[in-house]
Structure 1
Amino acid sequence: MPITPFQVTLWIELLAAGLGGLQGALFAAGLRTRRIDVLGVIAIGLAVALGGSLLRDVVLNRPPVVIWSNWYLIVAGGAAVLGMALAPLAARGSWLITGLDAVVMGLFGAIGASKALSLGVGVAGALVVGVIGAIGGGMLRDVMLGLPFSFLHVGTLYAVAAGAGAGTLILLAGLGVAVPIAGLVCVAVTTLLRVAAVRFEWTFPEQFAVRRRPDKP
């Protein structure tokens, strides 16, 4: 699949980091089952902002952008502090957090898939990298908070939304659509599918244990 070389600009990475830090801090501040101090809220915000990028760059064997860029930690940390200040908004409803989470997933998925394609990674590999970038921050957040992984929950379609968005970008890029436009479509697909899954409670069938039939006498 011929892909025109494309370099993700720094401001897109910083936008994703900022929204990730904001969403992570709002998520942590809104938890009622955990007692988290100010430093903990900021740390969770940073985890969401940095997790996907770190995992993506490790998989791609690239220098982690969150370390080499001076602005990445500054933007993510500042957004986390802002999220902590806006915590009362999280108490009024979960839709703000869900919407931000979906947008952040879409952004990091688009960045991950487009970076993989620009490095010559195959279609399947680019899809995996896109999904890893999309859900990596949420995974790190869940680990730090001792929560089950969000993408394993019944009813969230977490990884499905990430895969659908990244797959759309890869398909459009293969058809010759400019990567920035394909990236916007990726974010839209991921966001809409994720929010719709929560709103309409779309689920995959839950796994049931295979019941052994009682032996006949």
Structure 2
Amino acid sequence: MSVVPFQAPLWIQLLAAGLGGLQGALFAAGEKHRRIDVLGVTVIGLATALGGSLLRDIVLDQRPVVIWMNWYLLVAGASAVLGMMLQPVFARVTWLISVLDALVMGLFGAIGASKALSLGVGPAGALVVGVIGAIGGGMLRDVILNLPISFLRVGSLYAVAAGAGAGALVLLARFGVPIPIAGLVCVAVTTFLRLAAVRFGWRFPEQRAVGGRRRIET
């Protein structure tokens, strides 16, 4: 497979970081019962915005771009503060967090998969990297907040949506479709599947013990 040029411009990457910081801060600020302070909300916003990129670059054995490029931290931090300030305004618009979450997943999935392809990673590996980039920020957010990991919960379809989007990008790239177009398809597929799962309650069957539960007689 030929190496695919990495064509995600800086403004796309910063847009993803900014939306991630905004979504993470809105999510954290909405957790009123946890009494998270201003610093905590900002940290969670940064984790949501930068977690996927950080994990992606670690897996790819690359210098973490979120550390070496100042704009990432600045944009993500400013967006997190903005999200914290806007949370009271959007408190009744609960669907906004889901929409932002789906968009951020799609953007980071596209960036991760295309970066992997640009480094010569095979289709399967690029798919995995795309999924890691897509769900890494949300996973780190849930760990910090001590919540069940989103992509492991019944009904979330997090990993499925991320995998479908990243898979579409990898497949299109194999057929010579330009990465910017394949990236848009990735974002669209991921966002649609994630929001559709939320709206229509799409889910995988919950696991059950083989043979059912047995009562232990005493």
TM-score w.r.t. the length of structure 1 is 0.95
How far apart are the structure 1 equivalents of 2:32 and 2:53?
28
Q: When the two structures are aligned, how many residues end up with a matched partner?
A: 215
Amino acid at match of 1:46: L
Shift of 1:212: 5.6
Counterpart of 2:102 in structure 1 is 102
Which residue identity is paired with 1:10? L
Identify the range of structure 1 (96-105 vs 30-39) with the bigger mean alpha-carbon deviation: 30-39
Name the CA distance, whole Å, in 1 between partners of 2:59 and 2:114: 14
Distance between the aligned counterparts of 1:89 and 1:109, measured in 2? 29
User: 1:163-185: per-residue Cα shift (whole Å, max 9, x none)?
Assistant: 00000000111111100010011
**Where in structure 1 are there 5+ consecutive unaligned residues?**
none
Percent identity for Structure 1 against Structure 2:
78
C-alpha distance in structure 2 between counterparts of 1:213 and 1:59, whole Å: 42
Which residue does the alignment assign to 1:159? Answer: 159
Aligned to 2:38: 38
**CA separation in 1, counterparts of 2:127 and 2:33?**
35
In the alignment, what sits opposite 2:142? 142
CA RMSD of aligned residues (A): 1.4
CA contact (8 A) 1:109 1:165 kept: yes
Alignment correspondent of 1:83: 83
1:127 equivalent to 2:102? Answer no
- Deviation digits for residues 140-185 of structure 1, max 9, x if unmatched? 0001000010000101101000000000000111111100010011
Query: Is the Cα contact below 8 Å between 1:3 and 1:173 reproduced in 2?
Result: no
Regions of 4+ moved over 6 Å = none
Superimposed CA distance per residue, residues 85-122 of structure 1 (whole angstroms, 9 cap, x where no aligned partner): 11024420320000000000000000000000000000
Counterparts of residues 42-57 of structure 1 (less than 5 Å)? 42-57=42-57
Contact 2:108 2:130 in 1 (8 A): yes
Deviation at 1:33, TM superposition (A): 3.0
Contact map agreement 2:106 2:190 (CA 8 A) in 1? yes
Q: Where do 5+ consecutive residues of structure 2 fail to align? A: none
Question: C-alpha displacement at 1:32, in angstroms?
Answer: 3.3
Match of 1:73 in 2: 73
